[in-house]
Structures are given as structure tokens and as C-alpha cells.
Amino acid sequence: MTEHYYSKKPQVQSNPQQWRYTLLGHSFLFETDSGVFSKGEVDFGSRLLIETFEMPDMDGAVLDVGCGYGPIGLAIAKQYPDRTVFMMDINERAVELAKKNAEMNGIQNVRIYESDGVYIDKGVKVAAVLTNPPIRAGKETVFKIYDGAFHHLSDGGELWVVIQKKQGAPSTQKYLEEKFRSVEVVEKKKGYWIIKAEK
């Protein structure tokens, strides 16, 4: 059976690699591994999301759902040191890498753990959720992540999604329009859309 990057427990032989990458003007050292989404550099869509994102004008934590080895959450945590960034992924190897990458880059304002979809304590107020969703895991999983984001966002909080047009950006836009107060495609580049949905 082919193994996907969204396995809970990757069986594929570990083959860690380290490389440097600059995000928002900060230089990061990242470790990635087989069995975890990455191609030896930050995914184009993730980078576009990081560079397009604007923090909503409200207090509260930030969530990176499906964090992988951590580029989105860690870049936001570095850029906004006063915010707590919760990062979660179903893939335990990804979670271990994200923790290691936080440590290697001296980033402490993060909480990183395994979860299926969005999972945070009830008492936490969330200003923003960012996700490069696991398209290959199927629509049901992706829409469950949007539902979880909606549930945990404060009023006025924002969900930011990067998704390719050919991988379902229009259906994501439609789904979000049914739930959120306003939905806007704020950027389109090389077939990738950045969709912002305000609760």
C-alpha cells in the first residue's frame, strides 16, 4: 500500500534532512523527513500563506492546523512573539519534527501536539487559524478542519486557507461562504488561492 504524508504513524524508513530557509525575513533551520509533507523546501502555497497573512486586530491565540514539520506556525510565532501559536497534526513524525524545529530555532511561544482536526482547550480564545489543508486526506477531513476552526474562533476572528484552484479552491470558498460572515479571496498566484474567512 502506498503511504501518504497524512498517515498517523509513518512506517517509511526515516531519512532526516536539514536545510535553511528564510521566511518573513527570519532565517530558519528546518529538519524534515520522509513520511512528512515537504520537498526539501517550504511549499509554495505555505510560503504564499505566510507572506499574505495579516494578523486580525484583536487579542488571542493563533492555530496552525496540519502543521507538518512546522513552517507556517513557526514563522508566525517568530513574527508575533507575544502570541501563543498552537500547532497540531495527525502525523506523529510531523509533530516530533515541528517540536524539534521550534527548539532548533529558539521559538518558545508554541504548543505543538497530535490531533485529528482542530483540538484546543475550550477556554482558549482564537484570533486566527491558518491552514494548508490535507487535500489528499479527502474533503470530509478538510471540511472538518474548517468546522473546527469556525467553532474555536472568536467573533471577528479569521480563518486563512491556502488551496490550489485545481484541488478545490472554489468548493472551499463556497463551503466557507455558508458558515462565515464574510469570505474573500485575498491573493491568487500560480493557481494557488489564499482565502480569508471572517467569523
Should residue 91 be labelled a site residue for ligand SAM when binding is judged by CB under 6 A? Answer: yes
Question: Which region among 17-25, 62-70, 181-189, 190-198 touches ligand SAM (by CB under 6 A)?
Answer: 62-70
CB of 128 to ligand SAM, least distance (A): 15
Is residue 37 involved in binding ligand SAM (CB under 6 A)?
Answer: yes
**Cell numbers 474548517: residue:** 146
Rounded CA gap, 89 and 113, in Å?
Answer: 7
Question: Which grid coordinates are listed for 147?
Answer: 468546522
Cell of 89: 497534526
Q: How many CB atoms are closer than 10 A to CB 2?
A: 3
Report the residue closest to ligand SAM, judged by CB.
66
Asked if residue 32 binds ligand SAM (CB under 6 A), the reply is no
C-alpha span between 124 and 37 (Å, rounded): 28
Contact code string over 134-163 relative to ligand SAM, x by CB under 6 A:
x--x---x----------------------
Q: Give me the residue label for grid cell 518558545.
A: 108
Q: Which three cell numbers stand for residue 110?
A: 508554541
Binding site for ligand SAM (CB under 6 A): 5-6, 37-38, 43, 46, 65-68, 71-72, 88-91, 94, 115-117, 132, 134, 137, 141
